Amino acid sequence: MGMATESQFHVLAVDDSLIDRKLIERLLKTSSYQVTTVDSGNKALKFLGLQEDDQTNPNHQPSFSPNNNQEVEVNLIITDYCMPGMTGYDLLKKIKESSSLKNIPVVIMSSENVPARINRCLEEGAEEFFLKPVRLADVSKLKTHMLKTKFKNHQKQESQESSETEEEDQQEDIQQQQQQQSSNNNKRKAMEEGLSTDRTRPRYSGLTVV
């Protein structure tokens, strides 16, 4: 597998602050990453292919259902912690609860250095916790997480392809065995019919013709 370049990586940046969004976008683009920015956790989930569904929830708590219309692969999500509505921690939990998104690395940003908050995010599955303002040295740490995930996905894909090939080979073997068995049955049937014909054929030897 060839080494992926930074331009192949796509980062989704989530922050309700326009200034902070512009800053992280500039840092990511300086590092040659593709960047998409949104200003809320709900918009991030919608972009990732999870749609909000309030109608099925009587308590009016937002729940999310998969939407397979997402066309752009996201390799990493970096989100602010303090946002109105859905916090960065809530967004992290939603992503890790999703079977289709849980392998995407998530990095949390915050202007407040609160150890309990940092530990909670890391325990929930965050890869990093950056203190604002985010620096270029922080952004350089993201590549390791994206490469690790990309390598795991590549291994998973190869494993699936290998399993599919083995299944196809097994099906071919079964078909060949069935064809061979059918051929043997036809031969056996033909031999039995030939023997049966010999047994029922009238014998005229020993008869005197007048």
210 residues of the chain, pLDDT tens digit each: 444 556 689 999 999 999 999 999 999 999 999 999 999 999 999 999 986 544 444 444 444 444 444 557 899 999 999 999 999 999 999 999 999 999 999 999 999 999 999 999 999 999 999 999 999 999 999 999 999 876 665 565 566 666 666 777 777 778 888 888 877 777 777 776 666 555 555 555 555 555
Pair 6, 31: CB distance under 8 Å: yes
Class of domain 7-157: alpha beta
- In this predicted structure, what is the pLDDT of residue 135? 95
Residues contacting residue 199 through CB under 8 Å, at least 6 positions apart = none
pLDDT at residue 155, as a whole number: 61
- Cα–Cα distance measured from residue 38 to residue 73, given in angstroms and rounded to the nearest whole number: 16
**In this predicted structure, what is the pLDDT of residue 60?**
42
CA 183 – CA 180 distance, rounded (Å): 5
Tell me, yes or no, if the pTM score tops 0.75. Answer: no
